[in-house]
Amino acid sequence: METRHCQILILGGGPGGYVCAIRAGQLGLNTVLVEAGPLGGTCLNVGCIPSKALIHAADLFHKQATPNDLGIAADNPRIDVAQTQAWKDSIVTKLTRGVVGLLTASNVTVVTGRGTILDGKTMRAETPDGPCRITCDALVIATGARPTEIPDLPFGGKVISSTEALSLHAIPKTLAVVGGGYIGLEIGTAMAKLGSQVTIIEAADRVLPQYDAALTRPVATRLGALGVDLRLSSKALGLSEAGDLQIEERGSRSGIAAEHVLVAVGRTPVTQGFGLEDLMLTMAGPHIAVDPVCATSMRGVFAIGDVTGEPMLAHRAMAQGVIVAEHVAGLASRWDKRAVPAVCFTDPEIVAVGALPSDDMASVSFPFAANGRALTMERSDGFVRAVYDPATEVITGLQAVGHGASELAGEFALALEMSATLRDLSDTIHAHPTLSEAVQEVGHLALGHALHL
């Protein structure tokens, strides 16, 4: 069996793993990345990128198919789903090739094969050319997460996960979505715009329950306008013999006819099937416990990304990957981030950074209805909100809900990382006409001198 040695060995080629490898290579470390599937992981291949491509296509189709006041009319708009999928796949291919090129430029050795951890310093990889043994100074676990399965609705047949939903070659006439979180709403909204009759089943009393009602209300309103049937405070029970989805809604049972049932109730860390249990690492529930440099309880073993818990976001995994690479290279790098932005690509979009409103913090909102750019895009629902310490006026959180609001995530995160105050927001000149003006306006509003409200 071939044996090789490296300074840093990474198991998993998702956003955390490949970014860790690139940074390690840049720092001159002898780096090996082991991945059985396509590089880029869930996010690039069957998650973030494909879903945003589907959302974009659905938006364009829906605008063509919906009467408007702009004098624009399209007769009998249609969509060729096979061509749409081919376009989506071409984007994925372009990006995965880009990842390969970046790894090559950073002198990273990519081993294509299934890796099994033998101990904290050794891994066996089953490659197309046969097994190989890899030893290392530092081991990084970046195995990600998979869609969570419900015992009463196991994946298979008409019950699908987000992976299958993003690869459908025909728009289902009816679609039931179990779970009103961001994954279910993103895909459900896109399918509704493409002509599917969508029903969303959510156990909580509103969609996106991790956010407050003010942020989620515009999303629920838009779902209603799209004809989506929201079944709140409801529980999915399984399929009937006839294939209908059985639900319990406020104490009563009913059935929902659906061509497909999308189960989108979260993601489960991948911790089985590659020898992790033999390391006997300290766990934090189902996740691997890590410290500020992403080190586990075993010396020389690190973990990054979804396998380390919430928030399960690609950009968090990337940041962790950089920290590990720099730490292994001897740099003083550690997790000291003040904020991790979260974006829901719903309609309208939601972006949240930092603290949500609370009793000990003040908050103020500026509506997009008073923003010129939002009005020109025909989507002025929503607002920008600042949460701040009333004593110091330091910003502790920024949120927005609105069309195109996701592009504010960078400004929001930067404001929190730089410990911006209300005056910092209000005194910074923002270009006109842009959605970002609402950020400046929310500063004006909080300081008592709103200019456009």
Which residue do the tokens 């590990």 mark? 324
**Confidence check: pLDDT of 291 > 90:** yes
The pair phi, psi for residue 327, each rounded to 5°, is -65, -45
pLDDT of residue 68: 84
pLDDT of residue 1: 80
- Report the C-alpha gap between 278 and 330 in whole angstroms: 28
> Mean pLDDT, to the nearest integer, of 403-427?
97
**Confidence check: pLDDT of 72 > 90:** no
**Contacts with 44 (C-beta within 8 Å, 6 or more apart), sequence order:** 14, 15, 38, 92, 95, 96, 99
Confidence of residue 208 (pLDDT cuts 50, 70, 90): very high
Question: Residues 219, 207: contact at Cβ < 8 Å?
Answer: yes
- For domain 2-146+268-328, is the CATH number 3.90.79.10? no
**Confidence check: pLDDT of 219 > 90:** yes
Active site residue 444: no
Segments of the chain assigned to CATH 3.50.50.60: 2-146+268-328, 159-265
CATH value of 159-265 in 3.40.50.1700, 3.50.50.60, 3.30.457.10, 1.10.10.10: 3.50.50.60
| Partners of 256 in the β-ladder | 245
pLDDT of residue 380: 92
**Confidence check: pLDDT of 153 > 90:** yes
| Fold exhibited by the domain 342-446 | Enolase-like; domain 1 (3.30.390)
Confidence of residue 382 (pLDDT cuts 50, 70, 90): very high
Segments of the chain assigned to CATH 3.30.390.30: 342-446
**Confidence check: pLDDT of 133 > 90:** yes
Set 5, 287, 432, 449: catalytic member: 432
> Mean pLDDT, to the nearest integer, of 328-350?
97
Confidence of residue 73 (pLDDT cuts 50, 70, 90): confident
The predicted model scores a pTM of 0.95
Confidence of residue 76 (pLDDT cuts 50, 70, 90): confident
- Report the C-alpha gap between 142 and 320 in whole angstroms: 10
pLDDT of residue 2: 87
